[in-house]
Amino acid sequence: MSPEMPQGFSDLVGLEFTDIGPGYSRGTVDVTDELKNPTGVVHGAVLYTMADTGMAAALQSELAEDERCATIELKINYLRAVRDGTVTCETELLHRGRSTAYLEATLENDGETVARATGSFSILGA
């Protein structure tokens, strides 16, 4: 997976990867009115999408060519509302076993932490 590679669903929220390396990813979304809920803040699903896709990208960078990954569980804590600017999601692979992996993501809005997420992923062979 490269930073330029289309992501499908996450393209709809404007997620762009700026860095993908061994067990790491960094992606950004510029806040638009279309991403806000009726109360004027970025919908939680946008942040969730950033965390889930960021985790998959970080893990995929560590997988063999014939391996794939799938989310088992993802937990996110929303800490602050996001109204404008840019949201950045940095993800780190904390543990990779033979068939599962555990990752952590931190989401920031213009330098302030707005959410943290942890996730477990299944590693699928060819």
The partner residues of 75 in beta bridges, in order of sequence, read: 118
Kindly state the tokens that stand for 16. Answer: 């762009």
Please state, as a whole number, how many other Cβ atoms lie within 10 Å of the Cβ of residue 4: 7
pLDDT, tens digit (0-9, with 9 covering 90-100), for 37-86: 999 999 999 999 999 999 999 999 999 999 999 999 999 999 999 999 99
Whether pLDDT at 27 is above 90: yes
Kindly state the tokens that stand for 45. Answer: 């699903």
Kind of pairing between the strands at 100-109 and 16-21: unpaired
What is the pTM for the complete model shown? 0.92
Distance of CA 89 to the CA centre of its chain: 6
Q: Which is the CATH superfamily of the domain at 8-124?
A: Hotdog Thioesterase (3.10.129.10)
Phi and psi of 125, rounded to 5°? -85, 170
Q: Residues 6 or more apart from 20 whose CB is under 8 A from it?
A: 1, 2, 3, 26, 57, 58, 61
Domains of the chain, residue spans: 8-124
